[in-house]
Amino acid sequence: MSDYSSENGGPAPVIEIRDLTKTYLMGQTEVHALRGVSLTICEGEYVAIVGASGSGKSTLMNMIGLLDRSTSGSYRIRGEEVSRLSRNRMADLRNREIGFVFQSFNLLARTSARRQVQLPLFYAGVSERQSARRAVEALQRVGLGDRVDHRPDELSGGQQQRVAIARALVNNPSLLLADEPTGALDSRTGEELLALFDDLHRQGMTLVVVTHDDHVAHRAERIVTLRDGVILSDEPVRERASSTPIANRANALAAGDGQPV
């Protein structure tokens, strides 16, 4: 990851957003979901995006994840302007640079966990043998090494979301995006998921999480608050919430062995 460090040695920006707007057309009326958002997220940061329902969190997240196009404004990933790329180039960037975790998991029906995780590698053109190996490794990383042949209906909600995370991680993206990742989970499995995010963060992954939940937001280092399509506040978290005892975190650190993701 050191390749991406900026000249002055500080962390390099992964995402640079300037004056981004998104306007939906609903018949005659225009819905201004984003009205000029500027945001920079650097290598290794853990950012939470919060705000009331309808404030534009998902819209912003979909822009960051290159799932949708902005109406105006500039968006750079590692310095490259991406807001007006061709569909195929955007698909390639989604494939290589971005891992996306959805509230509703979005797993393929009746397909084994390994196959789910292999999907991005298939479109990256990785050979079947290599992709199978990497998929199993990614599943091991999210603690599902013993569930590789299970299908979604044979997994709990938390496990399904882990499969989705393994799928998001398998192609070594620069960014992991999660829109309400705990929204469909109970508090205990949600907590396990947050612990997994903590691990990934410690391993150097850049994380952006959209959430309603203050507790979830306070696991991040920085909270961006949206209101009516603009950024209301953007502040570092002083007191990071954690339910993980210090000893466990140390163990997790050792297990993660500092390998960049």
Ligand X SMILES: Nc1ncnc2c1ncn2[C@@H]1O[C@H](COP(=O)(O)OP(=O)(O)OP(=O)(O)O)[C@@H](O)[C@H]1O
Residue ranges binding ligand X (CB under 6 A): 24, 26, 31, 33, 51, 53-59
Burial of 204: CB neighbours in 10 Å, binned 0-12, 13-18, 19+: middle
Contact between 211 and Mg ion by CB under 5 A: the answer reads no
Nearest to 98 by CA among 68, 132, 137: 68
Residue 250 binds: one of another protein, Mg ion, ligand X, none (C-beta under 5 to 8 A by kind):
none
**Cα separation, 184 vs 186, whole angstroms:** 7
Residue 33 binds: one of Mg ion, another protein, ligand X, none (C-beta under 5 to 8 A by kind):
ligand X
CB of 231 to another protein, least distance (A): 21
**Given candidates 108, 232, 241, 250, which one binds another protein under the rule CB under 8 A?**
108
DSSP class per residue in 180-212: STTTTS-HHHHHHHHHHHHHHHHTT-EEEEE-S
Phi-psi region of 44 (alpha: psi -120 to 50; beta: other; left: phi over 0): left
**Given candidates 55, 70, 83, 95, which one binds another protein under the rule CB under 8 A?**
95
**Cα separation, 43 vs 93, whole angstroms:** 17
Footprint (CB under 8 A) of another protein, residues 170-189: 171
**Cα separation, 115 vs 119, whole angstroms:** 6
Contact between 122 and another protein by CB under 8 A: the answer reads yes
Contact between 133 and another protein by CB under 8 A: the answer reads no
Footprint (CB under 8 A) of another protein, residues 138-167: 167
Q: For residue 137, count other CB atoms closer than 10 A to its CB.
A: 14
Footprint (CB under 5 A) of Mg ion, residues 15-34: none
Closer residue to ligand X in complex, CB, 148/209: 209
Contact between 58 and Mg ion by CB under 5 A: the answer reads yes
* SS3 (DSSP) at 141: helix
Closer residue to ligand X in complex, CB, 24/122: 24
Please list the residues that pair with 16 across neighbouring strands: 40, 76
Residue 128 binds: one of Mg ion, ligand X, another protein, none (C-beta under 5 to 8 A by kind):
another protein
Residue 177 tokens read as 């995006």
Closer residue to ligand X in complex, CB, 101/126: 101
Contact between 229 and another protein by CB under 8 A: the answer reads no
Binding site for Mg ion (CB under 5 A): 58
